[in-house]
């Protein structure tokens, strides 16, 4: 049994499995020392319970005390009443059963009952936390610490990559750093290969910290495991980033579904989107090039009459397609398909980061991410079916990382995008998503419900909070915990990769010690280079 080295808080006086437990604090315990989000252990008669403190209140045994309080200038009178006439009441959400003397077979179990009246409650010790979350090892990655302790909280990466996952939080809360940490974990433990659509050039060679200085990104930590692709070669050279491939998209790679997804962004009407499908049926794969090449008035008039397309609709479509044509990476033909190179790298276990350079507008991001992901997914689906048929080795799990996820997964378009398909299929073909967004309420409810693990920084919009916590046991209590997070470097993690919801202080990123920890799992030259970089950067 874990040694009781943590102080006692109080005793259980009431509660239920559904609403949580009320714990009367001992008279020696100051309510000012009790912080929402702290872990506690409850010693029942037959088993121990592991829970989280979710609320604190001040109570009085006699309501008359609140109407006629003691003289505030007389501390002795207040001290006499404390613990007898007045007391603190803590609300505890029991989450796990951790056995009577040792961890139950199979690990911590969800609670199915509650401890009896007057069961003793104490703060969880470091040993208790380690017992629940496990040590960092070949499959667990250290993501942060409890809000009041230095014990490591680890994610189970094997469970993480089995489903799609989400990282949420309002602007400025550290979603990019958190995403970088998670990607480093997957690279360090080699649990999956990643395709990252890097809208702001933060995950490839280097990124920027909240204080403005540069920090190393994936390529510098794992040079042999990461390839940097770019849409903007000029921008990459200006930033002195060595790239592995320059991506160009051919006109023949665009399909009507890609245009439909960009309807609002391009300002297209519904008839204009329908006209795209008509042109695709008429011209085949080269429909875009042929539509853009139309310049003879009579030819256009005859074609519109043949396809029953109104002239105003055609002009609306031409304006929208003109926006796409002006993107420098869109070309009539390409000599080498980006998808083939991406699949080549992924097949060798090399992670691909696609930087967008200066093309950070949503049109470019949505267009490229949707086109490439759909084709990569099709190839993964084919390879998975072939492996299943031949009973051979299956492709390594693939995680596709997308930012501004509500643009791909809103209720209006989720059913039309490859990302909605991937999220709903739950790794059917070894492909999952890592979605990053500051507006989770803009994501389709069905897609949100399929996310296996959610890591949520502070959210200040009530709809966003409700969307993230929808369907989670103890939603109202976790809502209180989430609302008390600091605006930076804190998050609430819950889902399949952790045994219970965990409010954490996110692991440090950018110091010499954190840098050393990221490459500790790598060997040889990378480790030697890491030490050299540490000496240069931090002296």
Structural domains present in the chain: 8-133 (no CATH), 156-248+334-507 (3.40.50.300), 251-330 (no CATH), 511-539 (no CATH)
Element at 165 (helix H, strand E): strand 165-168
Give the model's confidence band at 272: pLDDT under 50 very low, under 70 low, under 90 confident, else very high.
very high
pLDDT at 538: 44
299: number of Cβ within 10 Å: 10
Share of the chain above pLDDT 90, in %: 55
pLDDT at 393: 80
Backbone angles phi, psi at 487, to 5 degrees: -75, -15
Three-state SS string over 424-470 comes to: HHCCCCCEEEEEEECCHHHCCHHHHHCCCEEEECCCCCHHHHHHHHC
240: number of Cβ within 10 Å: 8
Least-confidence region, from 82-91, 135-144, 462-471: 82-91
Cα(22)–Cα(55) distance, rounded to whole angstroms?
A: 10
Task: Tally DSSP H helices, then E strands, for the chain.
Answer: 22, 23
Give the model's confidence band at 522: pLDDT under 50 very low, under 70 low, under 90 confident, else very high.
very low
Backbone angles phi, psi at 455, to 5 degrees: -120, 115
Average pLDDT across the chain, whole number: 87
Residue 232 to residues 187, 204, 243, 325, 352: CA-CA distances in angstroms? 25, 14, 10, 16, 16
* Helix residue ranges per DSSP H, 287-433: 287-293, 297-307, 311-325, 338-347, 362-390, 406-409, 418-425
List the beta bridge partners of residue 229: 245, 354
pLDDT value at 146 more than 80:
yes
Beta pairing class for 453-456 and 165-168: parallel
pLDDT value at 516 more than 60:
yes
Determine the average pLDDT of the residues in 424-433: 85
Cα(511)–Cα(537) distance, rounded to whole angstroms?
A: 9
Backbone angles phi, psi at 406, to 5 degrees: -65, -20
- Its sign, for the CA torsion 426, 431, 436, 442, is negative
Is residue 495 within 8 Å of residue 454, measured between CB atoms? yes
pLDDT value at 494 more than 90:
yes
pLDDT at 537: 47
Own/partner pairs, 322-329, CB within 8 angstroms, 24+ separation = 323/266, 323/363, 324/254, 324/262, 324/266, 324/288, 324/363, 324/367, 325/292, 327/359, 327/363, 327/364, 327/367, 328/232, 328/359, 329/231, 329/232, 329/247, 329/248, 329/249, 329/359, 329/364, 329/368
Block residue for tokens 């104490």: 122
**CA nearest neighbour of 159 among 133, 181, 177:** 133
Cα(145)–Cα(150) distance, rounded to whole angstroms?
A: 6
Least-confidence region, from 201-215, 292-306, 370-384: 201-215
pLDDT at 197: 96
Share of the chain above pLDDT 70, in %: 89
pLDDT at 539: 41
**CA nearest neighbour of 232 among 334, 360, 403:** 360
Is residue 430 within 8 Å of residue 162, measured between CB atoms? no
Determine the average pLDDT of the residues in 505-519: 78
pLDDT: which is higher, 105 or 16: 16
Determine the average pLDDT of the residues in 198-206: 91
pLDDT tens per residue across span 155-164? 999 999 999 9
Half-sphere exposure of 52 (CA within 13 A, CB side): 27
Least-confidence region, from 20-34, 218-232, 502-516: 502-516
pLDDT at 148: 83
pLDDT value at 525 more than 60:
no
Six token digits for residue 368: 């490229």
pLDDT at 103: 57
pLDDT value at 231 more than 90:
yes
pLDDT value at 78 more than 90:
no
Is residue 34 within 8 Å of residue 147, measured between CB atoms? no
Least-confidence region, from 97-111, 115-129, 246-260, 287-301: 97-111
Cα(184)–Cα(278) distance, rounded to whole angstroms?
A: 45
Own/partner pairs, 332-339, CB within 8 angstroms, 24+ separation = 332/250, 332/251, 332/289, 333/250, 333/251, 333/252, 334/248, 334/249, 334/250, 334/253, 337/250, 337/253, 338/229, 338/245, 338/247, 338/248, 338/249, 338/372, 339/372, 339/375, 339/376, 339/379
Cα(145)–Cα(503) distance, rounded to whole angstroms?
A: 8
DSSP state of 104: P
Let me know if 312 is exposed, middle or buried by CB neighbors in 10 A (0-12, 13-18, 19+). exposed
Six token digits for residue 57: 């209140």
Determine the average pLDDT of the residues in 294-302: 90
């Amino acid at each position: 049994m874990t040694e009781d080295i943590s102080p006692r808080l109080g005793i259980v006086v009431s509660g239920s499995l559904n609403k949580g437990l009320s714990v009367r604090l001992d008279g020696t315990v100051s309510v000012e020392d009790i912080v929402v989000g702290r872990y506690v252990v409850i010693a029942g008669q037959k088993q121990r319970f592991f829970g989280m403190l979710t609320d604190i209140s001040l109570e009085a045994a006699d309501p008359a005390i609140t109407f006629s309080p003691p003289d505030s200038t007389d501390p002795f009178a207040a001290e006499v009443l404390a613990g007898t006439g007045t007391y603190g009441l803590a609300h505890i959400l029991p989450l796990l059963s951790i056995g009577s003397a040792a961890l139950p077979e199979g690990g911590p179990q969800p609670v199915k009952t509650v401890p009896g009246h007057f069961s003793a409650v104490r703060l969880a010790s470091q040993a208790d936390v380690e017992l629940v979350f496990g040590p960092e090892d070949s499959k667990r990655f250290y993501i942060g610490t409890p809000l009041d302790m230095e014990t490591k909280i680890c994610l189970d990466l094997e469970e993480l990559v089995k489903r799609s996952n989400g990282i949420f939080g309002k602007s400025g809360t550290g979603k990019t750093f958190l995403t970088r940490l998670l990607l480093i974990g997957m690279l360090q433990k080699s649990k999956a290969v990643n395709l990252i659509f890097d809208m702001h050039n933060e995950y490839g060679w280097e990124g920027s910290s909240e204080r403005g200085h540069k920090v190393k990104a994936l390529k510098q930590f794992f040079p042999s495991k990461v390839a940097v692709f770019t849409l903007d070669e000029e921008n990459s050279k200006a930033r002195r980033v060595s790239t592995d491939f320059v991506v160009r998209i051919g006109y023949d790679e665009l399909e009507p579904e890609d245009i439909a997804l960009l309807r609002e962004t391009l300002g297209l009407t519904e008839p204009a989107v329908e006209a795209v499908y008509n042109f695709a049926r008429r011209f085949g794969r080269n429909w875009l090039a042929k539509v853009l090449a139309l310049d003879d008035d009579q030819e256009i008039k005859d074609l519109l009459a043949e396809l029953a397309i109104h002239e105003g609709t055609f002009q609306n479509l031409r304006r929208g397609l003109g926006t796409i044509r002006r993107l420098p990476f869109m070309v009539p033909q390409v000599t080498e398909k980006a998808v083939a190179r991406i699949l080549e790298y992924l097949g060798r276990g090399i992670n691909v980061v696609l930087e967008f350079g200066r093309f950070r507008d949503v049109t470019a991001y949505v267009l490229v991410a949707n086109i490439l992901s759909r084709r990569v997914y099709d190839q993964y689906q084919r390879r998975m079916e072939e492996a299943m048929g031949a009973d051979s080795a299956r492709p390594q799990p693939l995680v596709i990382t997308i930012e501004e996820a509500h643009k791909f997964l809103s209720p209006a378009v989720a059913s039309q995008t490859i990302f909605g398909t991937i999220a709903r299929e739950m790794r059917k073909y070894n492909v999952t998503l890592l979605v990053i967004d500051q507006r989770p309420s803009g994501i389709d409810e069905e897609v949100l419900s399929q996310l296996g693990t959610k890591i949520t920084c502070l959210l200040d919009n009530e709809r966003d909070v409700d969307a993230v916590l929808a369907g989670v046991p103890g939603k109202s209590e976790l809502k209180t915990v989430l609302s008390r997070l600091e605006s930076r470097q804190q998050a609430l993690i819950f889902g399949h990769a952790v045994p219970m919801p965990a409010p954490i202080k996110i692991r440090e990123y950018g110091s010499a010690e954190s840098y050393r920890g990221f490459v500790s799992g790598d060997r040889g030259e990378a480790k030697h280079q890491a030490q050299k970089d540490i000496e240069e950067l931090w002296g």
